[in-house]
Structures are given as structure tokens and as C-alpha cells.
Structure 1
Amino acid sequence: MRAKLLGLCLASALLAYYIYSPMPEDFEEPWKVMLIAAAFRAVRHLSEVADQLGVMHSVEALKAITAIDYIAPTSDENVTVTDTEFSNVAVRLYLPRKPSDGLRRAVVYFHGGGWCLGQAGMKSYDRLTRWTSNRLNAVVVSVNYRLAPKYRFPVQFEDVYSVMKFFLQSSVLSQYGVDPDRVCVAGDSAGGNLAAAVAQQLLEDSEVKTRLKAQALLYPALQTLDLNLPSYQENENKPVLSRLFMVKLWSEYFTSDSSLREAMASNRHVPVESSHLFQFVNWSNFLPEELKKGHVYTSPAYGSSELAQKYPGFLDPRAAPLLASDAQLRGLPLTYVLTCGHDVLRDDGVMYARRLQAAGVPVTHDHAKDAFHGVMMFVSSPTELAVGRRLLNRYIGWLNENL
């Protein structure tokens, strides 16, 4: 009996040790966030064990675990939901049932997941896009682009761009009763990366006659050059997205070659011949003083040319939209950028907002100091967070006012 009691006490202590991690003082619901963070950490650890045992690639293991979050397309009294294809790419289409006085607004949405995970049918994304359609009385297209490790850059970009270009055809917009002057591209995290890249590419595409009204980028990943920004340092082990996991996702976007991941982890992956690109991500020029917090900018440490030659994607603006020149940013549509104070990707979004403003683009930069990466996914029981609900309402409110 004593042995069992001792074993129970030890197991409880180990579980408590695993779950507990210090939370920032400005978190509203620290214990709930702690449980959410522990759940995400456990899933990642299980995937790594599966990889080490040779059962399956860690990313494939993550996909298998997160597949339980999938729900089939289900219509309700407000929105008709169907799975279909646009330009041979799978999409989930949301069509509002409420009558409209005229042509409707439209949002084309790209989900997050580090180009490796996620799908339009995940409960969190289905809720987000369903609510967007219902509250804006808008057509919403949520894109199921192909994922790494089976598909590498630029496949993900090509999929979402193909859908965007298809949807912007006048015949398709007319089919769904969409106003060609009121179309927005949006996405979160890796999806925000893809949305920014698509908006840039559309400016260069003479075949596309319809122009975007707006882009909405939710805690986007926007650059591959400097993975040791102040936000990467300060939020190295913050909830949901750690620095090393973000490095893993970035590297998997291009290859499973561990040498790229190791070089990115040490921030020594950019060759000296690409040094001119650092001007676009020099945080000392773009971050406000309150985010520098005593950090001192140092010259980058360069890596070998071999990695850039083998995997040139990480130097491509389609993968890293912050690498676009100032001239390429001019003409981008009205922009909403959401950044979170406790997010490794915070500084990516802040720098992009600053650069867009300098280029004359109208920008709403919504900075949530008390939030962490992916927080808008936690808006329903049992993982509902008040801050997630607030940010969701602010995002949809911005769309309602500006689209």
C-alpha cells in the first residue's frame, strides 16, 4: 500500500512538474494557458518520440495526432458549407444564407500550421471562417494547400496563389455574387506569411485585373534571415510556439536536411553574398524603443553558400515577404497586422507594419501585449480565453469597417 501511495505521489509530482511553467504576469488566465501550453508540449514530445523510434516522421506524427480535431463540412441556419476545389486545389467554401442588399464581400483565408500542419476543417479554423462569413455576410474561401514534408516550398505558395487568382476572375466573382472591389486575403501564422506573399505577387501579375481591397495578417511569419530577433530571444519558451519549434517549421518548409535546421538554430544560415538582404530585417531600424528593451543589434554571422544553393527558398520573398524591396511594397492594399507581445514572431509583424507605413500603405497595427501566438484559436470551450475572444472581435470588426 505504501509503495502504491508513494508511486502515486511521485507520478503526481512528475505530472505537476511537466504541466507547470511560469507564465507572464499580464496573462489574464495563467492556469488555463499553462494547461494549453502543456497539452501542446505533450503532443510535440509524442511526435518526437515517434520519430526517434522510427515509427514516422515527427511532422507526420503531429498530423496524425491533430487529425482528431477535423470536422466535416456542416451547414447551419446562417451559412452553407461545402468542400470543393478551385483550380484543382481543395477549399472549404462558406456561403451566407442571409439576404444581401447587393454584392457581397469576400475573404480568402489561409490557415496556419507552419506550412506542415493544419487544415480548413480543423474545429478552430472552421469556427473562425464560419463566424467571419456569418458576421460579415461574406463569402469565405478557406484553402487546403498541400503541406510539408511531402510537399516543399514553393508548392504551398503556388497552391494558395492559384486559388486566389482563380477566385479573382470576374466570372467566378459573379458566380458567387461577390463585389470585385471588396475582396480580402487573410491568414494566420504561416497562413499570414502566404497571404502577404500572395498580395505582393498579385501586384506583379498583369493577368489579374481585380485588385485586393485589403489584407489581414494575424501574427504572421515573414522572414527567414534573422531567427534571433528580440522577440525570438524573449519568447524562446513561451506558450504554443517556442523558438526551436519555429526553427523546425521554417526548415521543414524547405527540406528535412538537418543541416539547414541546425544552421537556422544557430542563426548562421545566410551566406555573405546575400548580406544586402539584412537591410530589410534590421530590427534596430524598425522596432520601436519599447520593444528593443536594451537589446543591441549585432552584425549577422554568415553561413556557407552551400545551403543557400541547395535550398534557395529561404531567400525568396515568396517565402519571406519582408525581403521585398520598398518599391515592391508600394501599392499593397489596406492592411491589418496583428502582433502578440509573447510571440517569437512578434517582431516580424512589427517590422512589416513599419515598412508598409513607410511605403505609404494604410496600415492598422493591432499589438496585443498580453497575448501569445495562435491565441485567436482559443475562443470556444473548454479552451476559451477572454483575450482570444477579444482579438477575434477586433479582427472581424476591422474587416467589417474596412472591407
Structure 2
Amino acid sequence: MGRTIFLLISVVLVAYYIYIPLPDDIEEPWKIILGNTLLKLGGDLASFGELLGINHFMDTLQFFLRFQDVPPTSDENVTVMETDFNSVPVRIYIPKRKSTTLRRGLFFIHGGGWCLGSAAYFMYDTLSRQTAHRLDAVVVSTEYGLAPKYHFPKQFEDVYRSLRWFLQEDILEKYGVDPRRVGVSGDSAGGNLAAAVTQQILQDPDVKIKLKVQALIYPALQALDMNVPSQQENSQYPLLTRSLLIRFWSEYFITDRDLEKAMLLNQHVPVEFSHLLQFVNWSSLLPQRYKKGYFYKTPPPGSSELAQKYPGFTDVKACPLLANDSILHHLPMTYIITCQYDVLRDDGLMYVKRLQNTGVHVTHHHIEDGFHGALTLPGLKITYRMQNQYLSWLHKNL
């Protein structure tokens, strides 16, 4: 009897970790299931440690993920070095082949929910090497302070300080970068920061060199409506569930879990900020196919006290979708990737629409069988396809 019970428990636990509800058209499902299982195991260990008061959830995940770090090692194609840009650590990738002209420059911002990630992670190091080699470009991959040690606006300020440093004429000249061919790019939370600093650069009179392009890969762009169709539809899909997304957003602003609880109920925007909801009203911004079966309801008003204590989620520097059309109108040529099975899908779709409405030249690639994180996962066919699309667009437009 004891062995039977143990076997049943073992089967249930294995099923819990392995099973995820994947759509039928997802390619190479077992590779995704394996990656998701490791993520789920790490998340459960981090939750258990937090419950026991041993360590903060994000600190534990940071510890596990640091095993992905690789040193700044040069190879036959690219010279890799580390330095600081105005006290912000960066990793720089410079092609080794001779160039008779100034090179493109790409400023890259890693993802990780403002809590995780690093330019040193294997997957980001690999992407930066490929970008530098294939585009014959100088790639600057920046670090920034992470939650829970740091909260908004620290992440934004670090990235902005680093980017402003890069955009100085003497720095671009030092690295052989053409000041007319500089772009910014980022994935997920890095896409959020890329969009935010691109908007800010426009309004900074001290920055004379402007960005030629921005590339936003499944970006997180708003934290006002946490019940858009993609969050309802894809709430349990890998590698970013709705609950984990909301944990990331709330940690970006504050460690206090009250904000997270209010966001889970979509009840965190007080009446005095309800006018901002027009900028994220998916009923008017999403194409019809993504609205099917969903009905827009204005989020119920939240606590004014909560918003006063943690005002970040109403700040355009944290939520670039809140920018006025007068700002969006001046943005550079833009490339946006969205994935069908991603909780952040609708953030990207709404930004595409708002940018198009203001006359910005936007290229939008929607990956029908895509999911969050697909651009950088090693060994997947979809990763290869998405990176080819992304690098081809940069090669043509940067």
C-alpha cells in the first residue's frame, strides 16, 4: 500500500511539472516543456524559500539564473569587452573584420521582468555576438539595477544614463560608430525600457544624436489594464504566465505585495488616473480578430492611497503606451515583434496601432506560433526563424 501511494504521489508531481496546456500549432513541444519544467521547478523552490523567510523570491531566481553567465570572451569574429558607461556596466561587441566605413551601432537592453537577466547570460551574449557579426555592427549590451534591490525609476535611469553616454560624439567615434546609424533594441522588460528611453531621448535637448530605429521584441508597455484579451487567453502559457507577469510589474515598483494583489484583481487604477485608460483601451486599439469573444470593461477603481504610495504604474517612463500622440509622432522607424501565445501580445499590438495612427513607420511581425521568450531560447527552430527576421530588418533599416 505504501509503495502504491508513493508511486501515485510521484506520478502526480511529475505530471504537475511536465504538463502545460500547449496550443496544437506549437513547434517542438517537448523542448518547450523541458524548459518550462525547469522554470517551474526553480519558481517553486523560490516560492518555498520565500514562504519560509529564507530569501526573496526574485533573489533566489537570480541566484539560479547566474549559472547562465558567460565571461566576455572574444572569438574569431567578434572582440568582446566590458566597461562602464557613466557608471553603468556594459558589454561591448565589435566585429574583427576590417571596415572601410563607420559601423552601425545597436544599444541592446536585456529582458527579465526588471528583476532578472544580464548582458552576461548565455542567450543574450549569443544574440549580441550574432548581431555584431551578421550586421557588422558595434553592439552595446547594457546592464541595469534589478528589483528587489532596486525599484523604478532606477532601471530606467540606469539604461538612460548608459544610452546618453553612448550617444556622445566622442564615444561613437571611439568605437567607430556612424552617428546617423544608431538604434536601440530590447526584449520583454528590455523592450519596455527601449521604448521608454527612445521616447525620452526625443525630449532631451542635450542629446544631439538621435536614434535611427527602435526594435521592440514582445515588449511590456502598460500596467494599467491587467485583463486585456491576451492576458485572459494566454494566462497559463510558457514562459510567462499572467501571475508571473504581475509579480514582475509589482516588484518593479515596490516589494510590498499589496500592489500585486490589487493588480491581480485589475483593481489598482484610482479614479483620478482613469483618464489614462484611454491610451490602453484595447477595444479601440486591437484588430478585430483579437477582440473576438471578449468584451471591454473599464477596470474598477483602485485605492488612491495605493497609487500615491507607488505611482510608477501611471508614469510614462514605466508604461510607454501612456505617451501622448504628440510624443509618439516623432518616434523613429520602429520594428515590433508580437507572439500569438504571449500574455504581452496585446501591449505590442496596441503600440503598433497607436504608432501607425500618428504616422510612425512601423514594421510589425506577428509570430502565429510564437510564445514569450522565443527569440532567445537555444536550439529551437522558431528561435532561428525569429532571429533571422529580426536581424534582416536591422540589416535593411539600421
What TM-score does the superposition give when structure 1 sets the normalisation length? 0.97
SS of corresponding position for 2:366 = strand
Question: 1:212 maps to which residue?
Answer: 211
Cα distance in 2, alignment partners of residues 261 and 5 from structure 1: 40
Question: 1:314 maps to which residue?
Answer: 313
Q: Which segment is superposed worse, 313-322 or 38-47? A: 38-47
1:184-203 counterparts in 2 under 5 A?
Answer: 184-203=183-202
Question: 2:255 maps to which residue?
Answer: 256
Cα distance in 2, alignment partners of residues 168 and 14 from structure 1: 52
Question: 1:386 maps to which residue?
Answer: 381
Question: 2:175 maps to which residue?
Answer: 176
Deviations 1:130-174 (A, max 9, x none): 110111110000011111111110010000000111111111111
1:342-357 counterparts in 2 under 5 A?
Answer: 342-357=341-356
Matching of residue 397 in structure 1 with residue 396 in structure 2: no
1:103-114 counterparts in 2 under 5 A?
Answer: 103-114=102-113
Deviations 1:355-385 (A, max 9, x none): 001111100011001111011121x3xxx11
* AA at the equivalent of 1:120: A
* AA at the equivalent of 2:69: Y
SS of corresponding position for 1:85 = strand
Answer whether contact 2:216 2:335 (CA < 8 A) is retained. yes
Matching of residue 142 in structure 1 with residue 137 in structure 2: no
Unaligned stretches of 5+ residues in structure 1: none
Question: 1:85 maps to which residue?
Answer: 84
Question: 1:227 maps to which residue?
Answer: 226
* AA at the equivalent of 2:131: T
SS of corresponding position for 2:235 = coil
Deviations 1:30-59 (A, max 9, x none): 222122222111111111011011110000
* AA at the equivalent of 2:384: R
Cα distance in 1, alignment partners of residues 177 and 126 from structure 2: 22
SS of corresponding position for 2:183 = strand
1:343 deviates by 0.5
Cα distance in 2, alignment partners of residues 14 and 175 from structure 1: 56
Cα distance in 1, alignment partners of residues 293 and 157 from structure 2: 40
SS of corresponding position for 1:181 = strand
Cα distance in 2, alignment partners of residues 20 and 53 from structure 1: 27
The alignment yields a C-alpha RMSD, in angstroms, of 1.3
1:93 deviates by 0.7
Cα distance in 2, alignment partners of residues 189 and 17 from structure 1: 27
1:127 deviates by 0.4
Cα distance in 1, alignment partners of residues 372 and 299 from structure 2: 26
* AA at the equivalent of 1:325: N
Question: 2:284 maps to which residue?
Answer: 285
Question: 1:297 maps to which residue?
Answer: 296
* AA at the equivalent of 1:232: Q
Cα distance in 2, alignment partners of residues 17 and 148 from structure 1: 29
1:8-27 counterparts in 2 under 5 A?
Answer: 10-27=9-26
Cα distance in 2, alignment partners of residues 75 and 189 from structure 1: 27
Question: 1:99 maps to which residue?
Answer: 98
SS of corresponding position for 2:37 = helix
Matching of residue 377 in structure 1 with residue 376 in structure 2: yes
1:68 deviates by 0.7
Answer whether contact 2:147 2:252 (CA < 8 A) is retained. yes
Cα distance in 2, alignment partners of residues 82 and 137 from structure 1: 16
Cα distance in 1, alignment partners of residues 49 and 111 from structure 2: 23
SS of corresponding position for 1:117 = coil
Cα distance in 1, alignment partners of residues 350 and 179 from structure 2: 30
Deviations 1:155-213 (A, max 9, x none): 10000000111111111111111000100000000000000000000010000100100
Cα distance in 2, alignment partners of residues 358 and 318 from structure 1: 21
SS of corresponding position for 2:375 = helix
Cα distance in 1, alignment partners of residues 327 and 12 from structure 2: 55
1:17 deviates by 3.8
1:9 deviates by 6.5
Cα distance in 2, alignment partners of residues 60 and 285 from structure 1: 39
Unaligned stretches of 5+ residues in structure 2: none
1:21 deviates by 2.0
Question: 1:129 maps to which residue?
Answer: 128
Deviations 1:10-39 (A, max 9, x none): 524531342122210110112221222221
Deviations 1:323-372 (A, max 9, x none): 00111101100000000000000000000011001111100011001111
* AA at the equivalent of 2:305: E
Answer whether contact 1:132 1:396 (CA < 8 A) is retained. yes
Answer whether contact 1:41 1:240 (CA < 8 A) is retained. no
Cα distance in 2, alignment partners of residues 110 and 61 from structure 1: 22
